[in-house]
Structure 1
Amino acid sequence: MALRWGISCAGLIANDFVNALQTLNPEDHEIVAVGCHDINESNKLCTKFEIPVAHGSYLELAKDPNVEIAYVGTLNPWHYEVSKLMLEHGKHVLCEKPLCMNSKEAEKLIELAKEKGVFFMEGIWVRFFPAYQHVRKEIRSGVLGDILSVKSEFGIKDLVKVGRLSKKAMGGGTILDMGVYTIQACQWVLEKNPVSIKAKGSLNEEGVDVEMSAELDYGDGKKVEINTSALDQLSNSVKIIGTKGEITINEIFCSTRIIDIDGKEKHWPLPPAKFDFHYPNSCGLRYEADEIRKAIRAGKKEHENVPHADSLGIARVQDELRRQLGVHYEGHDD
């Protein structure tokens, strides 16, 4: 039976998500409706992808009885409210990263999902890519030996010119937008949370972080270095060093390539789609969508690749990074 998706946004990421969904078996996935604050934007997405129903509000989408799961791809400050609305109406929810603006909001959503008995997941899509899955198996097999260190960085030159990255009202900042990728990679590799964090960085005139560097101590001599930047181009990679060798994950946020322990590149190409994508390797969104369907049909309320505990751990690291840099968001701080 097809999983019936409702898309609660109509921007670029929504376009890419729908485009990726439509590369999957239509007997497994069906997009039944779009809903956002602007009926004209909903109509545009519906027309482009031949989706049958357009709603002019998030509430209308939440009330749509034909929608099983809502994809929430709004700007960061609205993740909490829109996800909450969908959960309250009994919908499963896939919410784009970062899950919320802070860990307290994330905790509330997770508790609500449990109360309603529905599936809920943060969209850390890259963990479902074959490249990440391969690396996870390599680490757990012991081929790298004992993990000594991880260096994870994500930076794009002049990204600071993009409003959603630099404007406080849009939930900007590299810690929330890009930092989730660097943090989640460390959690993915070490499978635990850090015991201490030391961070530094710089803020723009709005008080939003435009670059950040931090050292995370995971105990037992395991140290992690993470870096984010909206000013400079970084390697955008995850380097994992163990006692027996190292692996590098390229394209940290959309990885189809790695340099394996043997020093050779491995590549998992993506399939073609009907339309061009707005962001690199966005067709890879299909991997998380397909795994979510399997989990829901199996009666699961969370996915082992992105369990609730991991999302809370990531959010708490982000809280501490922002606290040390002095980044505050009105309406989203204690």
Structure 2
Amino acid sequence: MTSLIRWGIIGCGNISHDFVTAVRSLKAEENQTVVAVAARSLENAKKFAGKHQVPKAYGSYAEIMDDPDIDVYYVGTVQPTHFDVVSQLLKARRPVLCEKPLCMTVRQTQELVNLSYEKETFLMEAVWTRCFPAVRRLVQELEDGIIGDVLHVSATFGIATEPDSRLRKMSLGGGSALDLGIYCAQLVNLVMANQRWSQLRTLGHLNSDGCDLSLSTSVTYPNRQLATLVTHCEVQLHNEAVISGTKGIIKLAPPFHCPTELELPSGSVSFPLPDSLPDATYMYANSAGLQYEALHAADCLRKGLKQSPLMTLKDSIRTAEMTEAMRKQAGVSYPQDDFHYDDNTFHFHQDRCI
């Protein structure tokens, strides 16, 4: 039997609700459980724990970090807090699966990667897309050359948010690039094998709070390759991804960031979501697919890996570079852009990323 993986959950919002529901829906033989949750108030933590039958609740993030009965932490807090929370966990050598975006800026992302290497501790950005069977099949088809040389990738992600949505608030790390564009960027980088682009150009619209409501980005690569990324916080887009090669086209059907269907030149292939608890309710589409992510993270831990082979630390850095370039060209600036480092001690070892 596989060893038991005990999860600690930091943050009790909607995404943590979905993740815990997914973990609890895993088959018994997968041997995973959630043993503790933490929120900024004990009342919220207890409410969440009671709803999900979690035995322990903490009223601060610091308390749960000291729990010796936790094997890995899932960080589902608002994104401006990710850097501080994950830094503390890594310094204590506690394995981490952190919701996307891993950080607000490239520099913060690099700092966490450094810390992960220094402490020899598992770190994965929770880009669940990479764990879906449809995406893993996509990678295999591309490696097999089924569509020849890829020359164009197109990805769109737009949702109609309310005026008071978190995506529209600077203080909460809002903006379409970090919340939606990250899915487009990670897919482009996956297909393009993380190669450095030649040029990146972005146009978009900002709200009065300085958040990007919409972006349109064109990226060129060597060898005549091109990528097109479109994000929107005000209207629903088709939310599909299309990879075009010299011998054909592959499409990740909507919603491409959590896909259940892959359209190949030979026809469509379906990948049904895993079963959930009979009474399971989810806040987001296809969140039963978070089981794939939990299974993958647990597999990494059981194998003693320090990073995910599906979403490597290099993947996280390259994706952060793209989303940062996108939003900066549109004129978006976060307080974290002025994040202070001691340049005498900061050295990023990108060559250590697999």
> Which residue number corresponds to residue 181 of structure 1?
183
2:288 aligned partner, one-letter code: C
User: Equivalents in 2 of 1:45, 1:164: separation in Å?
Assistant: 21
What SS does the aligned partner of 2:70 have? coil
Q: Is residue 75–residue 164 contact of structure 1 (8 Å, CA) maintained in 2?
A: no
| Runs (5+) with no aligned partner, structure 2 | 340-354
User: Equivalents in 1 of 2:134, 2:324: separation in Å?
Assistant: 29
**Superposed counterparts of 1:68-87, under 5 Å:** 68-87=71-90
* Aligned: 1:195 with 2:198: yes
> Which residue number corresponds to residue 293 of structure 1?
298
Q: Is residue 7–residue 34 contact of structure 2 (8 Å, CA) maintained in 1?
A: yes
Q: What displacement does 1:265 show?
A: 5.0
What SS does the aligned partner of 1:220 have? helix
User: Equivalents in 2 of 1:215, 1:77: separation in Å?
Assistant: 27
Q: What displacement does 1:97 show?
A: 0.4
**Superposed counterparts of 1:156-171, under 5 Å:** 156-157=159-160, 159-171=161-173
What SS does the aligned partner of 1:264 have? strand
> Which residue number corresponds to residue 123 of structure 2?
120
**Superposed counterparts of 1:1-334, under 5 Å:** 1-26=3-28, 28-157=31-160, 159-193=161-195, 194-250=197-253, 251-273=255-277, 274-333=279-338
Instruction: Between 272-281 and 311-320, report the one with greater CA deviation.
Output: 272-281
What SS does the aligned partner of 1:178 have? helix
Aligned identity (percent) is 35
Q: Is residue 273–residue 286 contact of structure 2 (8 Å, CA) maintained in 1?
A: no
Q: What displacement does 1:162 show?
A: 4.6
Q: What displacement does 1:267 show?
A: 3.6
User: Equivalents in 2 of 1:277, 1:105: separation in Å?
Assistant: 31
Q: What displacement does 1:112 show?
A: 1.0
- Give the structure-2-normalised TM-score: 0.91
What SS does the aligned partner of 2:224 have? coil
Q: Is residue 260–residue 266 contact of structure 1 (8 Å, CA) maintained in 2?
A: no
Instruction: Provide the alpha-carbon RMSD of the alignment.
Output: 1.3
- Give the structure-1-normalised TM-score: 0.96
Provide runs of 4+ in structure 1 moved above 6 Å: none
Q: Is residue 152–residue 239 contact of structure 1 (8 Å, CA) maintained in 2?
A: yes
User: Equivalents in 2 of 1:316, 1:145: separation in Å?
Assistant: 27
User: Equivalents in 2 of 1:90, 1:252: separation in Å?
Assistant: 34
| Runs (5+) with no aligned partner, structure 1 | none
Q: What displacement does 1:42 show?
A: 0.9
